[in-house]
Chains A and B, each alone.
Chain A
Amino acid sequence: MLKIEIDGKEIEAKAGTTIIEVADREGIPIPRFCYHKKLTVAANCRMCLVQIEKFGKPLPACATPVTDGMKIFTRSEFAVKAQKSVMEFLLINHPLDCPICDQGGECELQDIAVGYGGGASRYTEEKRVVLNKNIGSLISTDMTRCIQCTRCVRFLKEVGGMMELGMVGRGEHAEITAYVDKSVDSELSGNIIDLCPVGALTSKPFRYSARTWELTRRQGIAPHDGLGSPIEYHIKDNKVMRVLPREEEGVNECWISDRDRFSYEALSSPERLTKPMIKDHGNWVETDWQTALEFAASRIKAVVSNNSQELGVLVSPQSTMEEGYLAKKLAQGLNCGNVDHRLRQVDFTLDGKHLGTPWLGCTIADFAEIERVLVVGSNLRNEHPLLTHRLRHAVKNGAEVSLINALDDDPLMPIANKLIEVPSELVSLLAQVLKALVDLPKITRKLPDALDLSKIKPTASAQKIAESLAGFGQRVCVLEPRAGVFLGNMAQHHPRYAEIYSLAQTIATLSGASFGVLSEAANSVGANLADVLPEADALNARTMLEETRKAYLLVNVEPELDCHNAHLATAAMAKAECVVALTAFKSEALRDADVLLPIAPFSETSGTFMSMEGRVQAFAAAVKPLGECRPAWKVLRVLGNLLGVSGFDFDSSEQVSREMLNGKDAANCLNNQLSELPPINLQAASGSALQRVGEILLYQSDAIVRRAVPLQKTKHGGVLSAAMHGEQLKKLGLSAGAEVKLSQGNGSSHFKVSQDDRVPVGCVRLPAALKESVALGDLFGEIKLEAAR
């Protein structure tokens, strides 16, 4: 520890820390613009100049490491003169347009100018004007306001993983710009709005819609991926005007993904359902709650009174724990165990074998510190945009990442080893890694007896992945590496998920790595814990659709978009006698429903999400429900009452959650272990048929994000095409742009073909959860391609 003195205050500091870090820790204010604790030091704004004893020049606090005995003066005449002069320079070319600037009121330049700026400018020459750039649908630019701090440049390069902005030109002509005519496409791009200390980068959807001082701030939890980022709603007139991150070092640090930031736009979508609706002779009619609820209850009752097993309850994993719990409780009250939230899962072999709730297997903070990683079946940036940055950061610190997947998308970080093969090979690839691992002399743990790998021959890449996990490395060897094996969404959607799960877990056990699941949705873990799962011998999310039920209760579900097999879901809904949908949106996907009950989305209801690391995060409603919407837990409560199910007299969602947890400590319920290994078929030969890789695109993951227009307008909004490897196209005699007919089972659709060499030969990459592809079936498996006529 070094002893230093700042403004006469004696402070202990670690060697290697900078003055600004120590000052920030001690609450000593030093003005700054370019410095940001999460970014590299640029020392270019010069606002943090301080006086240091025995130095004739002021030095930047952000870039000056403390030394023993250093005496620092942040408020001396010398220091303040330097700071004020920098402020003057920053202001001479900055436009005085604060009254029309969206940053006004929350502008770092404005705030610091109050303390360090002059009353009037001494600058009487011409001011600089910089042309604005169009960098996409999320961020608007007013580049004349830019003070060249380069925070945005550094963020995109260091956190986003790709240098999408840079400074071109010299001196006064220097300006921040994207590559010629390119937009900023990072899935984390919105953070540069928060980072920009002036109004150069502001939110395009929010632009000119409110002033910061008119906004009420309420806390919430992001409702999309399993990270569970804490967010802050900014509200005006009972409307969410924008969403910002709250800081939680162990979860989101200080960032959020664009999905979490801009999805609020869907909250005021014209598709919002604001009144209950009943289908009357094929026509949708608005009605009152009483009528709608009684109608729904009577229809359900009519079915279950005959046979309680004819009901199927599907709950989205984006629903709160309370909503899921009540849906399950309602079904149970009706003697029905057909409840599930794992809508995109298709292999349920592990049901009944889990010893607890599957989760990440470690905290997100631990995840960030990892040294050796194997990620299986994940299109990382699409599935877990912000968590991927943690991995990127780990790689920067020397971690080695290996990937096994069916798509070779660039996660924007150096990848040590990867095995990219057709989806049906995933099990075999894992077996190879496991075999290579067992054969390493270092590995002393034994394989489970049931596993016979004697016929497996690992490839060189599989060998390398095994070695990496065991601590041998490309550059650095680690004796006992902090390692992890994680399953992504595509693994969870895979038709042989059970085998993938148990092989990956065995790999983890043998290599001493932690094992976990990158849970898909905001409340996947929570829904599991709340037991939104089928009872033993009851139907799961797949069989409920295969063995069509007479009645379905849908909570937050758009069947053809949220379920694994769109074709199957569509058919089941069409065939059902009664479909009761609790939904926030009028949806084409609910055309076969009989009653639509308008429920409050994440911002308008209280509830609890449980993140992939098992963090239980309760939140309150940020705004009042739109129109006649009601929180889903209240709707379920009334349905329970109307259906005569006992134990449904809840007055608050907290009451529901108390009953649900029943004194349990959620953390103790998390467990990825299995009671027994499922049978693993290592002989299964994959045919030569074309296979589908059905991914869920970044902005198609759930009903809310699908309706966030600014997100849909980004590059990730995407144009749907059937993408194939160049070689595959050649094999089929097709060229990009050609139209083909793709069919799975009875469903088929026409698509344009495109070339994408990230797709293994033998596959067609065809996203699901899009209306253009709802005629098709399973996310994976055989797909037939014919020339379109």
Chain B
Amino acid sequence: MSGSFNQVCFRTVGLPNPASLKTYRSVGGYEVLKRIITEKIPAAEIIAEIKLSGLRGRGGAGFPTGLKWTFMPRNYDGEKYLVCNSDEGEPGTFKDRDILRYNPHQIIEGMAIGAYTMGVKTAYNYIHGEIWAEYEIFERALDEARVAGLLGDNILGTDFTFNLYAHHGYGAYICGEETALIESIEGKKGQPRFKPPFPATYGVFGKPSTINNTETFASVPYILQHGGQNFLDLGVANSGGTKLFSISGHVEKPCNVEVNMGMPFPELLALAGGVWKGRKLKAVIPGGSSVPVVPADIMMQCTMDYDSIVKVGGSMLGAGSVIVMDETTDMVKTLDRLSYFYYEESCGQCTPCREGTGWLWRVVRRIAEGKGRMEDLDLLTDVSNNISGRTICALGDAAATPVLSFIKHFRPEFEYYIEHGRSMLKA
């Protein structure tokens, strides 16, 4: 096995009382922030370090964080906002929850550094509505930080002022989309905005805003503590640093684990105890339910980094949410469940997604009920392609992807269902 575990975002995991300020301080927490604001390290220097680290957005899109931070207008006269996207709601994703649970202060420090770098005074952490306990842990961490003078006016006696608020959603998947999240923060119905304008020019309350994922923010203190090069070297080309992987499904030990980028998939699988019950691997969704499914033989050749999963696996690293499926998995029923999720979570704002997700799900459900027609498979492909790339946000693409990839890789299973009215696995 290569590298060590839980080195960056999970560095308090395993320590007693991991979410406490004391524990976080024991691993060097808030030292970077203190140095930056007391020594008044120039923003450009911080951004250069982040760029060097190769840190890419951990929410799934993988956009270079250092570059994103430069989009924020420098000399803007008025409020600017920073937002942490902890609205983790996609099937298979549960990594940010554990950062909130075990290492909330690292998020706070990362955000404070981001705020200092981009000249922001106010920030929000938008926490998914279905993880109430973690929301409370984060609120407690905020209280601790405020009492310790690490948040609020004139932090640590400097002229740096930064206020951070936790904001919990109510469980809508769409609110993880950054502009829907902004609408939700503003108290409106969570619906994505049309872009452009992007949040960096028109964000929270119409002001310039930057939104990063929880894991992204949590990586920042480590990078500035150990240097961008150190972080970069933890990973592989184009995928610097470590990555949290949430491994779920048919494994012996479903878990969250932070490993170095580029770990071969078989090693990652072994960390979760391998496929359960001694069964064979059938397929893996490597990055959360919105990325294409990858058949076992291809997946076993992938390494866990941005490039390999695209080039070898034909899928995406996404948020690092690895859903493992063993040989008994009914791919039609699996797709039925996934399609239902997107049908249920579409915000309903724009036509292709509102109408198309229901259409897709109903056809898949019909096939799963044994009432499929052979032309349904081409119809599903066509409808998926008609949704893809024509919607306001990426939820449309996310709904289309499972359908397209499941049919592409497991078409015979679908055909069997249609011909025999039941699964080939029970044949």
B347 near A174: Cβ-Cβ < 8 Å:
yes
A123 near B359: Cβ-Cβ < 8 Å:
yes
A86 near B348: Cβ-Cβ < 8 Å:
no
Within 8 A of A (CB), among B89-132: none
B390 near A173: Cβ-Cβ < 8 Å:
no
The residue of chain A having its C-beta at the shortest distance from the C-beta of B346 within the complex is A171
Asked whether any CB of chain A lies closer than 8 Å to the CB of B221, the reply is: no
A172 near B194: Cβ-Cβ < 8 Å:
no
Cα distance A63–B194 in the bound complex, in angstroms: 8
A89 near B355: Cβ-Cβ < 8 Å:
yes
Could you say which residues of chain A place their CB within 8 Å of the CB of B379?
A: 122
Contacts A90-B355, A172-B358 given: A43-B392 contact, CB under 8 Å? yes
Within 8 A of A (CB), among B24-46: none
Could you say which residues of chain B place their CB within 8 Å of the CB of A82?
A: 390
Asked whether any CB of chain B lies closer than 8 Å to the CB of A156, the reply is: no
Asked whether any CB of chain B lies closer than 8 Å to the CB of A137, the reply is: no
Could you say which residues of chain A place their CB within 8 Å of the CB of B351?
A: 44-47, 86, 89-90, 147-148
Rounded to whole Å, the gap between the CB of A337 and the closest CB of chain B is 62
The residue of chain A having its C-beta at the shortest distance from the C-beta of B388 within the complex is A57
B345 near A125: Cβ-Cβ < 8 Å:
no
B350 near A45: Cβ-Cβ < 8 Å:
yes
Contacts A147-B351, A173-B348 given: A57-B362 contact, CB under 8 Å? no
Cα distance A125–B367 in the bound complex, in angstroms: 12
B390 near A171: Cβ-Cβ < 8 Å:
no
Asked whether any CB of chain B lies closer than 8 Å to the CB of A37, the reply is: no
A172 near B348: Cβ-Cβ < 8 Å:
yes
Cα distance A43–B197 in the bound complex, in angstroms: 13
Q: Which of B174, B343, B345, B352 has the most CB of A within 10 A?
A: B352
Q: Is the interface of B mostly helix, strand, loop or mixed?
A: helix
Contacts A126-B362, A171-B358, A172-B355 given: A46-B350 contact, CB under 8 Å? yes
Asked whether any CB of chain A lies closer than 8 Å to the CB of B386, the reply is: yes
Rounded to whole Å, the gap between the CB of A79 and the closest CB of chain B is 11
**Contact count band on B:** 20 to 34
The residue of chain A having its C-beta at the shortest distance from the C-beta of B356 within the complex is A89
Could you say which residues of chain B place their CB within 8 Å of the CB of A147?
A: 351
Cα distance A46–B348 in the bound complex, in angstroms: 13
A58 near B345: Cβ-Cβ < 8 Å:
no
Could you say which residues of chain B place their CB within 8 Å of the CB of A92?
A: 355, 359
Could you say which residues of chain B place their CB within 8 Å of the CB of A85?
A: 352, 386, 390
Within 8 A of B (CB), among A289-339: none
Could you say which residues of chain A place their CB within 8 Å of the CB of B359?
A: 89, 92, 123, 125
Cα distance A65–B195 in the bound complex, in angstroms: 11
Could you say which residues of chain A place their CB within 8 Å of the CB of B344?
A: 170-171
Could you say which residues of chain A place their CB within 8 Å of the CB of B355?
A: 89-90, 92-93, 172
Cα distance A90–B343 in the bound complex, in angstroms: 16
Could you say which residues of chain A place their CB within 8 Å of the CB of B172?
A: 170
Q: Which of B196, B348, B363, B392 has the most CB of A within 10 A?
A: B348
With beta carbons under 8 angstroms apart, the residue of A56, A86, A170 that contacts B347 is A170
A88 near B354: Cβ-Cβ < 8 Å:
no
Cα distance A566–B392 in the bound complex, in angstroms: 60
Cα distance A93–B346 in the bound complex, in angstroms: 16
B346 near A49: Cβ-Cβ < 8 Å:
no
A44 near B349: Cβ-Cβ < 8 Å:
yes
Asked whether any CB of chain B lies closer than 8 Å to the CB of A478, the reply is: no
**Contact count band on A:** 35 or more
B189 near A167: Cβ-Cβ < 8 Å:
yes
The residue of chain B having its C-beta at the shortest distance from the C-beta of A64 within the complex is B196
Rounded to whole Å, the gap between the CB of A30 and the closest CB of chain B is 15
The residue of chain B having its C-beta at the shortest distance from the C-beta of A62 within the complex is B194
Asked whether any CB of chain A lies closer than 8 Å to the CB of B391, the reply is: yes
- Binary flags per residue of B363-386, CB closer than 8 Å to A gives 1, else 0: 100100000000000010000001
Rounded to whole Å, the gap between the CB of A74 and the closest CB of chain B is 15
B194 near A86: Cβ-Cβ < 8 Å:
no
Asked whether any CB of chain A lies closer than 8 Å to the CB of B389, the reply is: yes
A148 near B194: Cβ-Cβ < 8 Å:
no
Asked whether any CB of chain B lies closer than 8 Å to the CB of A41, the reply is: yes
Asked whether any CB of chain B lies closer than 8 Å to the CB of A169, the reply is: yes
The residue of chain B having its C-beta at the shortest distance from the C-beta of A83 within the complex is B390
A125 near B349: Cβ-Cβ < 8 Å:
no
B348 near A167: Cβ-Cβ < 8 Å:
yes
Rounded to whole Å, the gap between the CB of A43 and the closest CB of chain B is 4
Cα distance A99–B267 in the bound complex, in angstroms: 64
Asked whether any CB of chain A lies closer than 8 Å to the CB of B357, the reply is: yes
Could you say which residues of chain B place their CB within 8 Å of the CB of A89?
A: 351-352, 354-356, 359, 386
**A to B contact number (C-beta, < 8 Å):** 96
Could you say which residues of chain A place their CB within 8 Å of the CB of B194?
A: 41-43, 60, 63
- Binary flags per residue of A132-172, CB closer than 8 Å to B gives 1, else 0: 00000000000000011000000000000000001111111
The residue of chain A having its C-beta at the shortest distance from the C-beta of B355 within the complex is A89
Rounded to whole Å, the gap between the CB of B169 and the closest CB of chain A is 13
A174 near B348: Cβ-Cβ < 8 Å:
yes
A171 near B348: Cβ-Cβ < 8 Å:
yes
Rounded to whole Å, the gap between the CB of A445 and the closest CB of chain B is 36
Could you say which residues of chain B place their CB within 8 Å of the CB of A65?
A: 196
Could you say which residues of chain B place their CB within 8 Å of the CB of A166?
A: 189
- Binary flags per residue of B164-205, CB closer than 8 Å to A gives 1, else 0: 000000001010000000000000010000101000000000
Cα distance A93–B354 in the bound complex, in angstroms: 10
B386 near A169: Cβ-Cβ < 8 Å:
no
Could you say which residues of chain A place their CB within 8 Å of the CB of B352?
A: 46, 85-86, 89
- Binary flags per residue of A59-93, CB closer than 8 Å to B gives 1, else 0: 01001010000000000000000100110111011
Cα distance A44–B392 in the bound complex, in angstroms: 7
- Binary flags per residue of A246-272, CB closer than 8 Å to B gives 1, else 0: 000000000000000000000000000
With beta carbons under 8 angstroms apart, the residue of B363, B386, B389 that contacts A125 is B363
Rounded to whole Å, the gap between the CB of A62 and the closest CB of chain B is 9
- Binary flags per residue of B68-85, CB closer than 8 Å to A gives 1, else 0: 000000000000000000
The residue of chain B having its C-beta at the shortest distance from the C-beta of A86 within the complex is B351
Cα distance A504–B230 in the bound complex, in angstroms: 75
Rounded to whole Å, the gap between the CB of B128 and the closest CB of chain A is 16
Cα distance A86–B390 in the bound complex, in angstroms: 9
Q: Which of A88, A90, A171 has the most CB of B within 10 A?
A: A171
- Binary flags per residue of A30-52, CB closer than 8 Å to B gives 1, else 0: 00000000000111111101000
Cα distance A62–B362 in the bound complex, in angstroms: 31
Cα distance A168–B191 in the bound complex, in angstroms: 11
Rounded to whole Å, the gap between the CB of A73 and the closest CB of chain B is 16
Rounded to whole Å, the gap between the CB of A145 and the closest CB of chain B is 14
B390 near A125: Cβ-Cβ < 8 Å:
no
- Binary flags per residue of A397-414, CB closer than 8 Å to B gives 1, else 0: 000000000000000000
The residue of chain B having its C-beta at the shortest distance from the C-beta of A63 within the complex is B194
Rounded to whole Å, the gap between the CB of B89 and the closest CB of chain A is 13
Could you say which residues of chain A place their CB within 8 Å of the CB of B353?
A: 171
Could you say which residues of chain A place their CB within 8 Å of the CB of B386?
A: 85, 88-89
A49 near B348: Cβ-Cβ < 8 Å:
no
B346 near A172: Cβ-Cβ < 8 Å:
yes
Rounded to whole Å, the gap between the CB of A323 and the closest CB of chain B is 52
Cα distance A63–B354 in the bound complex, in angstroms: 19
Contacts A44-B351, A93-B355 given: A170-B345 contact, CB under 8 Å? yes
Could you say which residues of chain A place their CB within 8 Å of the CB of B391?
A: 46
B389 near A57: Cβ-Cβ < 8 Å:
yes
Could you say which residues of chain A place their CB within 8 Å of the CB of B354?
A: 89, 148, 171-172, 174
Cα distance A168–B362 in the bound complex, in angstroms: 22
| CB-based closest 10 A-B pairs | A174-B348, A171-B346, A85-B386, A89-B355, A125-B362, A57-B389, A43-B194, A172-B358, A171-B348, A44-B350
18 interchain pairs (CB within 8 A)?
Answer: A43-B194, A43-B350, A45-B351, A46-B351, A57-B389, A57-B390, A86-B351, A88-B386, A92-B359, A125-B358, A125-B366, A126-B362, A166-B189, A167-B349, A171-B343, A171-B348, A174-B348, A174-B354
A-B contacts besides A45-B350, A174-B349, 20 pairs, CB < 8 Å: A43-B350, A43-B392, A44-B350, A46-B352, A57-B389, A58-B389, A85-B352, A86-B351, A86-B352, A86-B390, A89-B352, A89-B354, A89-B355, A93-B358, A125-B359, A167-B189, A170-B172, A172-B354, A174-B347, A174-B354
